[in-house]
Every structure is written in structure tokens, then in C-alpha cells.
Amino acid sequence: MDSDLIMVAGILILMLSIPSAISAYADGRGPWVALVVVILGAAVLGWGWQNHPTEMTLTEVPHVIIRVLARVIP
């Protein structure tokens, strides 16, 4: 699996933690599931970042997302 795809998957996992955290806050309970999802998403994103063949900066992340979307959407 290519590191760009891994990074985008990590970003999507991080985005999925937001509704879980809001739901836990609204129900008055601890956001434990959201915390686990944030840790998982950060680990996947970091793994993709470390395994990228070239030096990555934060300014290249939007380009990574666009490259993956261009491959997925014909």
C-alpha cells in the first residue's frame, strides 16, 4: 500500500472521531471511543508520514489528498 493512501486513511479516521466526541459530550459521558479513534488515526497518519519516500512537510498534505482523490475518482 502506498504511503499517500495510508496518510489519507489516517486523516479520514481522525475525521471520524469528531462526531463521536460531539456525541459523547452531548450525552454527558466520557469520549473514550473518540480517544481510541484519535490515537488510531494519528498512528496511521504517522506511519504513512514516516514511510513516505521523500521528505514531507505540512504544505504537501493537501497535494497528497488531491493525488489520492485523483486516483480514486476516474
How confident is the model over 8-16, as a mean pLDDT?
A: 95
Confidence band (pLDDT; 50, 70, 90) for 52? confident
What does the pLDDT read at residue 1?
A: 64
Q: Which domain holds residue 66?
A: 3-72
What does the pLDDT read at residue 13?
A: 95
pLDDT(33) > 90 = yes
pLDDT(19) > 70 = yes
Give the CA angle between residues 47, 50, 56 to the nearest 5°.
Answer: 125
Give the CA angle between residues 24, 25, 30 to the nearest 5°.
Answer: 60
How confident is the model over 50-59, as a mean pLDDT?
A: 88
Distance CA(9)–CA(74), nearest Å, equals: 19
Would you call 57 helix, strand, or coil by DSSP? coil
Distance CA(68)–CA(52), nearest Å, equals: 14
pTM of the full predicted structure?
0.86
